[in-house]
Amino acid sequence: MVKTTEIVHFPAPPAPYYLECGYTVYAPGDEHPNRRNMGKFDLIMMKSGTLFIGEEDKNWALTAGQSLLLLPNRYHYSVQPCEEETHFYWIHFHSICAWAESSAEQQMVHVPQPDEHYQTFLTSPYSIQLPKMWDMPYPERAYQLMEKLLQSPGTRQSSAFWTQQQAFEELLRMMDLRQLEQYTSPIVAVAEKTEAFIKNNYKAELTSKDMSEALHYHYNYITRCMKQVYGMTPNDYLQHYRLEQAKLLLLKTEWPIAEIAKYVGFKSTPYFSNRFTIKNGCSPLQFRKQYSVEANK
């Protein structure tokens, strides 16, 4: 089995979205057209035969069950004509987020920072990791989803839109390396477990000992994993999450500031207000007032 050596990272939400797809058959002697800067991602999934294709200084001989993700700002070209009848599916999609490419060894280098992503999209990011080229683990399921996409244009647009996006998102989920245990690094696994533990226990007084005992790792190793994956120590992430929950309560309730501070895990209201102000550029009370009815009169 060919394992991916390169990964394309997509911060989400918003997730990449579907544009169009097709099924191509090349006779012996046919070849893929040369294209530059298409402005959209082109995912090729091989059904049979061999497709000789390149991108910039790399080239591949794709065979049945393999996929290749061509990037929107690169030069794609035919390496040589097909030697046998060759069948493949293709799908074009787009992403409005800043995607990045890395080697598989640098799996988490391009994970977006929560604060930066939140400022634009009002939610913390998840990094979808698609392989550049690999042997698909479930090719038959991928073909079924492609057939579903190919049939959707024959239905009403109101139905086709949701069918297309749903099938495409299922395809993305299948391709996302973070959904496959054999591709997820131990560092990523520890960081994700730590994140989940923090989110489930942020209201309590969490210590380094609590995290080590719950996760069964030394706290220094947990810290190293969190910094590599999320760019934060566990305590930094805990404070970040507490402050995000506090913002929701300031918007959704009329609770006093002190009650919100205590609810999200802060012992001291002045300390909570100080941390909130540093992070958001305004005090909790000012944050609430700017969204109140009176502020908009």
Is residue 212, in this structure, part of any structural domain at all?
yes
Quote the percentage of the chain above a pLDDT of 70: 93
End-to-end CA distance of the chain: 64
Place of tokens 């609430």: 288
Structure tokens of 169?
A: 């998102």
Residue 217 has a pLDDT of 95
170 falls in which pLDDT band (50, 70, 90)? very high
Query: Looking at the structure, do residues 38 and 142 belong to the same domain, yes or no?
Result: yes
Residue 112 has a pLDDT of 57
The domain total for the chain is 2
294 falls in which pLDDT band (50, 70, 90)? low
Does residue 185 have a pLDDT over 90? no
Is residue 40, in this structure, part of any structural domain at all?
yes
Quote the percentage of the chain above a pLDDT of 90: 70
Query: Looking at the structure, do residues 204 and 275 belong to the same domain, yes or no?
Result: yes
Domain at 241, CATH number: 1.10.10.60
Query: Looking at the structure, do residues 205 and 127 belong to the same domain, yes or no?
Result: no
Does residue 184 have a pLDDT over 80? no
Q: Which of 111, 144, 177 is the last residue of a domain?
A: 177
Q: E strands of the chain, at which residues?
A: 6-12, 17-26, 35-36, 41-48, 51-55, 58-62, 66-70, 75-78, 86-94, 100-103, 126-131, 133-135
Range of 50's domain?
Answer: 6-177
What average pLDDT score do residues 76-81 get? Answer: 96
Q: E strands of 86-228, at which residues?
A: 86-94, 100-103, 126-131, 133-135
More confident: 170 or 155: 170
**Least confidently predicted of 133-137, 255-259, 270-274:** 133-137
Q: What are 37-50's pLDDT values in tens digits?
A: 889 999 999 999 99
Does residue 1 have a pLDDT over 90? no
Query: Looking at the structure, do residues 89 and 226 belong to the same domain, yes or no?
Result: no
Query: Looking at the structure, do residues 200 and 238 belong to the same domain, yes or no?
Result: yes
Is residue 1, in this structure, part of any structural domain at all?
no
Domain at 91, CATH number: 2.60.120.280
Does residue 162 have a pLDDT over 60? yes
Does residue 110 have a pLDDT over 60? no
More confident: 244 or 182: 244
Query: Looking at the structure, do residues 162 and 242 belong to the same domain, yes or no?
Result: no
Work out the mean pLDDT of the chain and round it to a whole number: 90
What DSSP assignment string belongs to 32-81?
Answer: PPPEE--SSEEEEEEEES-EEEEETTEEEEE-TTEEEEE-TTSEEEESS-
More confident: 97 or 183: 97
Q: Which of 133, 148, 177 is the last residue of a domain?
A: 177
Query: Looking at the structure, do residues 121 and 58 belong to the same domain, yes or no?
Result: yes
What average pLDDT score do residues 228-251 get? Answer: 92
Query: Looking at the structure, do residues 191 and 133 belong to the same domain, yes or no?
Result: no
Q: What are 111-144's pLDDT values in tens digits?
A: 556 677 777 887 878 889 999 999 998 899 999 9
Residue 195 has a pLDDT of 93
103 falls in which pLDDT band (50, 70, 90)? confident
Residue 30 has a pLDDT of 96
Q: Which of 157, 177, 197 is the last residue of a domain?
A: 177
Does residue 216 have a pLDDT over 70? yes
